Structure 1
Amino acid sequence: MTALTLSTSSAATLRADAVVVGLVKGAKGPVVAPGAEAVETAFDGRLADVLETLGASGAEGEVTKVPGGSGLKAPVVLAVGLGEAPAEGKSYDNEALRRAAGAAARALTGTKKAAFALPVADADAVAAVSEGALLGAYSFTAYRSSNGDAKKGADKSAPLADIAVLGAKPRDKAHKAAAERAQALAAEINRARDLINTPSNGLTPKTFAAEAQAAGKEYGLKVEVLDEKALKKGGYGGLMGVGQGSENPPRLVKISHTHAKAKKHLALVGKGITYDSGGISLKPAGHNETMKCDMSGAAAVLSAVVTAARLDLPVNVTGWLALAENMPSGSATRPGDVLTMYSGKTVEVLNTDAEGRLVLADAITRASEETPDAIVDVATLTGAMVLALGNRTFGIMANDDAFRTSVHEIATEVGEQSWPMPMPAELRKGMDSPVADIANMGERMGGGLVAGLFLQEFVGEGITWAHLDIAGPAFHEGAPYGYTPKGGTGSAVRTLVRLAERTAAGDLL
């Protein structure tokens, strides 16, 4: 695990393998950002000129390395672009700091220690730099073979091991709290990333449930697991219907953080399809290779609940992980079959690849029985949402406009791209079934909205509810950028944690 420290030491005298400075776009060329004054002095005030000569402009995410020179203990200076400088009197954008720190940490893979001399004018900036650096230092190595003889030297693929945030005061309560929160949050986002990146032969509903139990034991959370026998006996037709075609049977996991001073109860529900073949409605070639990520919602929920416990938030947070593997076999649900859900409603399954809404529906109904103040479900639910919003933005739907707006504002605050989506009542008619209460498919156009309307049918009366469709940003297939790696991203964890914090503070619900 990457270590994080706060330090008031000078960037010139601190012993590190590299020192990171910020570079912004100026009117006449790049300008070194505040926090790196000692490094500027070591370069006789010419650091920006040297970097510009090497092609640096200060553009966001741009990384340029130069030798540290005789005036620095660190042998390397890494300049990372912050984009446009803020207006006079304004602070640096926290997301720009977060992304810059992440880009620098990625560029320093294989390095043991780096000092980050970026602008940290307040505790929020300390948090942003800390989060970005810790998230950027992530790598998934569980399935890598050994690099061989240790005598050959350091592992060049190992993540940055030690991060020092310069200018942050270790004895300042606000700075210290910001760093501690960043460490807990980043660790749990990286837990979600690990789960998402684990191949489906290594992560089944049973092993996912065991991961939740282990986390619960470590952080004092209560964990309950319903296996296939309990699910069948309890009438969980959605979970059983999706999971019955697989040799790896489904699970429903309840993981609870409770606090003696809590006044509100937040329920989080995550889609946990550990592999999605599409079932009998088999996905076409080219669409199966990344379907290990179809449990990203459940991973986000697990990590958010554990973070709430690690931060000791005075709010009750219950996570529901709806875990199943969607496979075709002689026992699999067929298109045209009718399932009786946990709620008692019947669903005609027109497409077995619309399975996520089936497992979520059972979990939402079960969560509603505890009458929480709000339910938020998270799911890689529809390709339609990706078509609508692209690969980096998740959609937000809700049965309460004010709550939807609040979730959107919270996501923006923590640096997660999202967009509020409507719930057009006229699309509900497309799910009318001649043989059941509702079908699991409706009109093709607006498919992401149809899925949200389906889920709304299973929310308990009078309960505030929001649905996050993270199908786009949950799994990144392109080149890494900022603090975002290739593969699982941990999308929505930050939003859920801040939602819990705001609820604990009495600002929501």
Structure 2
Amino acid sequence: MSSPIIDITSDTSSPAKARADVLVVGLTSGKDDPQVVGAGELPKAVRSELESAAKAVGFSGAADGSVRLPGIKGLSASSVILAGLGSFDELDLISEAQADAAHEVLRRAAGSAIRSLSKGETVALALPTGTTEAAEAVATGAVLGAYLYAEYLSEPGKRKPVGSITVLTDSKSAPGVDRGAHIAAAANRARDLVNQPPLDLYPETFAQAVADQAKGRKVKVTVLDDAALESQGYGGLTGVGKGSPRGPRLVKLEYSPRRAGRHLALVGKGITFDSGGLSLKPAASMEDMKSDMAGAAAAAQSLFAIADLGLPVKVTAWLALAENMPGGNAQRPSDVIRIFGGKTVEVTNTDAEGRLVLADALVAAQQDGPDLLIDIATLTGAQVIALGNRVSGVMGTNGARNRVVLAAGVSGEQMWPMPFPEEIRSQFDSTVADLKNSGKRAGGMLAAGIFLKEFVSDDVEWAHIDIAGPSYNTESPWGYTPKAATGVPVRTLVEVAAQLAGG
């Protein structure tokens, strides 16, 4: 993995005295002229000059917008970025109803401002940080916005990452900066894994990467290779992996602090490249299929973030890793496989492979008796059709599904609860096996979740997150979100763990 480690700290200095190449100041829009916010210690004359400059260049302070200005008298920084906050109101930060939305405005403003820099500048952020949560939001957005993946560029120095980031805050709010930095760093590590080409990232190297990352942390790693998977009856992983000479792996990561009272299990789909197998995808549909392991990347990096933060909750992450290729030994439509635990599945579409590897891992994960089970997967194109490229679909038992959606509201990742219509289940009826792996096109996102439900015990609190669109941005960058891998839903999973640890 190759994104730079971001140097970020907190500082109680006044914005005027911040020594940096760039000072980032928030600017709100509204009925009146744009106004500087969050930098109350700036001299009145400086604030007035910044507001006049914004008006002169036609910048209204609209959310997600920014403009860079030369430094002015009264500031130590060499230049200023005015980051648009839209109709943001600082009072929203202490409002139970509005705080989550206000935090997301800060994340995007910080991320957009940092993302606009490319010459290795040092940055000081003078955005509103009156609460610990606000400071965390600013730090999170800044580190996410600073992300740069240049491993495969012949001249990587053309765009330099920011030299350092300082979040200006008071001493009471400063701890939020450290927490935000840890969470955003984990999301960036997930981005690294997703962005890596499948030539170099395949089940064996993916497993090795997380094993190496676990060194120095209180995280135990267990890896089952292709021979072990076949001998132990993991038919989903074995079947999907047959078409590739690079065999499947099942990785179990365990973080078990002594004072943990609850247990969270994460299961991640890790198809390191998805050709569709013998049910071959059209060429254009394969272009971004290196991202089909984003669920496993998120599960792993969420666990490492939880361990780094020292949260008092036990977490296991199961990474179901395989490469879905149409080799001479590939599984065929009409094959019947036996999932770990015994249920049989007729494979009618080899491109519906993610649910097969997840089924193995879901059954295995339940053997540890977790209090909450969450699987994360780039599972269906139907998710994009239903909810677009930025909103993940969440299914499962009511309690678990709602817990995930509420945590997403806190983290700023967009998710929406989806139902399990009972009439869809009959689509998976098979004449030769317990069920088949594909159904009708209509309601495809819901159908995939209903298939997975067959491998989850009725008494288990379980949520399924379909991140097919949100995990990989094929459009222009925005806010703190770059083009390509996004790191969704690392922030939500860490928030779920934090809430679970709290009771």
> Shorter-chain TM-score: which interval?
over 0.9
CA distance in 2, matches of 1:176, 1:19: 18
Residue 151 of structure 1 corresponds to: none
Q: Are the counterparts in 2 of residues 36 and 117 from structure 1 also a CA contact under 8 Å?
A: no
Structure 2 counterpart of 1:15, from 19, 22, 43: 19
CA RMSD of aligned residues (A): 1.4
Is 1:161 aligned to 2:125, yes or no?
no
TM-score, normalisation: structure 2: 0.96
1:400-436 deviation line (CA, Å, top 9, x unaligned): 2122112111101110000000001110001100111
In the alignment, the residues of structure 2 paired with residue 90 and residue 330 of structure 1 have an alpha-carbon distance, to the nearest angstrom, of 59
Provide the rounded CA distance (Å) in 2 between the counterparts of 1:245 and 1:366: 23
Tell me if 1:411 matches 2:415. Answer: no
Partner of 2:306: 308
From 39, 44, 51, give the equivalent of 2:54. Answer: 51
Partner letter of residue 266 of structure 1?
Answer: L
Give the corresponding residue for 2:104.
95
Deviation at 1:70, TM superposition (A): 2.9
Amino acid at match of 1:465: W
Please list, as runs of the form range in 1=range in 2, the aligned pairs for 1:36-435 lying within 5 A after superposition: 37-38=41-42, 41-42=45-46, 45-86=48-89, 91=94, 93-146=102-155, 155-169=157-171, 172=172, 175-398=173-396, 400-435=397-432
Q: Cα distance, 1:86 vs. partner?
A: 2.2
CA–CA distance in 2 between the matches of 1:270 and 1:254?
A: 11
For 2:329 and 2:134, the matched residues in 1 are separated by: 54
Aligned equivalent of 2:476: 479
**Contact 1:396 1:467 survives alignment (8 Å):** yes
Which secondary structure does the structure 2 equivalent of 1:144 belong to? coil
Alpha-carbon shift at residue 279 of structure 1 (Å):
0.4
| 1:29 alignment partner, SS class | coil
In the TM superposition, what whole-angstrom CA distance separates every residue of 1:162-193 from its partner, at most 9, and x where no partner exists? 11111332xx3xx3431221121111111100
- 1:116-144, CA deviations, whole angstroms, 9 ceiling, x for partnerless residues? 11111111110000110011000101111
Structure 1: segments with no counterpart, 5+ residues:
148-154
Paired residue type of 1:160: V
| Aligned mate of 1:438, from 423, 435, 439 | 435
Contact 2:25–2:37 at 8 Å: present in 1 too? yes
Displacement after TM superposition at 1:75 (Å): 1.6
What CA distance in whole angstroms lies between the structure 2 residues aligned with 1:468 and 1:115? 36
Contact 2:114–2:142, Cα closer than 8 Å, also in 1: yes
2:130 partner amino acid = A
- Give deviations 1:330-382, integer Å, cap 9, x for gaps: 10011111111112111011110000000000000001111111210000000
Amino acid at match of 2:39: G
Counterpart check, 1:29 vs 2:33: yes
CA contact (8 A) 2:22 2:123 kept: yes
Q: Deviations over 1:40-79 (max 9, x none)?
A: 5336x23212111101011101111111123222121100
Q: CA deviation at 1:312?
A: 1.1
CA distance in 2 between partners of 1:340 and 1:167 (Å) = 56
Percent of residue pairs identical = 49
Distance 1:503 1:38 in 2: 41
Q: Does 1:504 align with 2:498?
A: no
Distance in 2 between the 1:64 and 1:359 partners? Answer: 47
2:489 corresponds to which letter in structure 1? A
What is the CA distance between 1:111 and its match in structure 2? Answer: 3.1
- Counterpart secondary structure, 1:423: coil
Query: Cα offset for 1:89?
Result: 6.8
Report the AA paired with residue 119 of structure 1. Answer: P
C-alpha change, 1:394 and 1:476, in structure 2 (3 Å) is same
> Partners in 2 of 1:215 and 1:265 — Cα distance?
22
Q: Secondary structure at the match of 1:46?
A: helix
Output the CA distance in 1 between the equivalents of 2:16 and 2:372.
50
Q: Deviations over 1:438-484 (max 9, x none)?
A: 00011210011110011011113411110000001000011111110
Report the Cα distance in structure 1 between the residues aligned to 2:220 and 2:38, rounded to whole angstroms.
Answer: 46
TM-score (norm 1): 0.94
Within 1, Cα distance between the matches of 2:378 and 2:49? Answer: 49
Q: Read off the aligned partner of 1:82 and give its amino acid letter.
A: L
SS in 2 for 1:478: coil
List gaps (5 residues or longer) in structure 2: none
After alignment, is 79-88 or 336-345 more displaced?
A: 79-88
Query: Would the aligned equivalents of 2:93 and 2:103 in 1 still touch at CA under 8 Å?
Result: no
* Count, aligned residues: 493
Asked if 1 retains the 8 angstrom alpha-carbon contact of 2:90 and 2:128, the reply is no
What is the DSSP-based 3-state SS (H/G/I as helix, E as strand, rest coil) of the residue aligned with 2:284?
Answer: coil
- Provide the rounded CA distance (Å) in 1 between the counterparts of 2:487 and 2:88: 29
Question: In the superposition, relative to structure 1, how do residues 386 and 436 fare at CA in structure 2: closer, same or farther (>3 Å)?
Answer: same
Change (3 A) 1:197 1:90: closer
Whether contact under 8 Å (2:30, 2:86) holds in the other structure is: no
